[in-house]
Amino acid sequence: MAQIQPLTPEIGRRLTHPAQRTPGIPFDADVIDSIRVNRSAAERRIAALPGRRTVKKEWQAAWLLKAVSCIDLTTLAGDDTPGRVRRLCAKARQPVRQDLLDAMGVGPITTGAVCVYHNMIETAVRALEGTDIPVAAVSTGFPAGLSPLKLRIQEIESSVAAGAREIDIVIDRGLVLTGNHRAVYDEMKAFRQACGDAHVKAIIGAGDLGTLINVARASMACMMAGADFIKTSTGKESVNATPVFALVMCRMIREYWEMTGHRIGFKPAGGISTTKDATAYQVVMKEELGLPWLQPDLFRLGASSLLTDIERQLEHFVSGHYSAAHRHPMG
């Protein structure tokens, strides 16, 4: 079987965060108010993308391996246990079976991060010792984001003190729905300051915001306040990540980059469970933002079950046969 060639030199390379974090900029209401979104055009663009970019055979395998390196391997269940988190961390260390990597001629690979609730941070940190895999913690009253501001800030500080290197915060969606973007900015700025050296991902809860204009304006307000990433969803909304949300948010990232020269990362999350889903978001990133945004320092996939489907597809690439899901356990 032919060795994978496309993207191979970068597949297993672990990129560190940029040396300088996003500094943010002063709030500019004129920029926020000027944002417009043509929903029909956005939907047409998404519908046209599959015909513009397809990946097959070794190209598909290479893209899927790159997707693995961008996964925030996540467990956010009410019945999480230390044992479950340790198994998840073991999978993050070795996300693809070694025999498959050997058959494809690919070196070591890890996931982008492990994402847990605050009470599991120390367990995850211990389980990932000796690696550069960061622990990400959901915070600020996840998933609703409606606890008192003081408590939300304290939660961030506690998670950073426990060893979390990335914090996924939740904005107050009510502020967006009432048009109070200055308050979104002020809260986000407070969250960013509380994170210290930890990188912050701002969850805007796109499925709760009603319109694509609200999605775009919330994204811009969070980036102005210093968010290192913007993220679609908590995974708990009735509507989570969609390619249309991704398109709108990526265009805001591009606009912010052109305006400031600072690159902001993007994380779709919620409902991403198949290789087709992962590739669709990779295509949006490639077409709208370019290759730099296909690396784990600027692109993450929030997922729990996605990795199983990717491993099944990779085994099919190697052997020509699909295997049962139980052959690719999460730990």
Residues 269-313 have pLDDT tens digits of 999 999 999 999 999 999 999 999 999 999 999 998 899 999 999
pLDDT-based confidence at residue 12 (cuts at 50, 70, 90): very low
For residue 71, the surrounding DSSP H or E stretch is: strand 71-74
Where is average pLDDT lowest: 33-42, 233-242, 259-268, 316-325? 316-325
Q: Is 289 left (phi over 0), alpha (psi -120 to 50) or beta?
A: alpha
pTM: 0.92
What percent of the chain is modeled with pLDDT above 70?
A: 91
Distances (CA, A) of 7 to 10, 266, 280, 294: 6, 20, 17, 11
Q: What pLDDT does 320 receive?
A: 87
Of 70-74, 140-144, 301-305, the one with minimum mean pLDDT is: 301-305
Other CB atoms within 10 A of residue 250 CB: 23
pLDDT the model gives residue 327:
66
Q: What is the pLDDT of residue 122?
A: 98
Q: 194 and 153 in contact (C-beta within 8 Å)?
A: yes
Contact 302, 267 (CB under 8 A): yes
| Tally of CB atoms within 10 A around 48 | 10
Handedness of CA 259, 265, 269, 273 (dihedral sign): positive
What residue ranges in 180-244 does DSSP mark as E strands?
199-203, 229-231
Looking at residue 16, its pLDDT comes to 43
pLDDT in tens, 164-200: 999 999 999 999 999 999 999 999 999 999 999 999 9
DSSP β-ladder status, 135-138 and 166-170: parallel
Evaluate if residue 315 carries a pLDDT over 50. Answer: yes
Q: Scan for tokens 């509380």, then name that residue.
A: 194
Give me the pLDDT at residue 4, please.
Answer: 39
Going by pLDDT thresholds of 50, 70 and 90, the confidence category of residue 212 is very high
Share of the chain above pLDDT 90, in %: 84
Q: Identify the pLDDT of residue 322.
A: 74
| Class of residue 158 by CB neighbours under 10 A (exposed 0-12, middle 13-18, buried 19+) | middle
Helical segments of 35-172, H only? 39-52, 57-69, 82-93, 98-104, 121-127, 149-162
Q: Is the pLDDT of residue 52 over 70?
A: no
Domains and CATH numbers, the chain: 26-327 (3.20.20.70)
C-alpha dist (Å) from residue 103 to 61, 194, 215: 12, 45, 43
Handedness of CA 253, 27, 178, 142 (dihedral sign): positive
Q: Which are the catalytic amino acids?
A: 168, 231, 267
The pLDDT value recorded for residue 50 is 76
Q: Give the mean pLDDT of 207-216.
A: 97
pLDDT classification of 14: cutoffs 50, 70, 90:
very low
Residue 5's pLDDT band (cuts 50, 70, 90): very low
Residue 21, pLDDT score? 80
Over the chain, what is the mean pLDDT? 91
- The H helix count followed by the E strand count for the chain is 14, 8
Q: Map tokens 């609703």 to a residue.
A: 144
CA-CA distance, 264 to 253, in Å (whole number)?
6
pLDDT band at 22 (very low <50, low <70, confident <90, very high): confident
In this prediction, residues 111-116 reach a mean pLDDT of 98
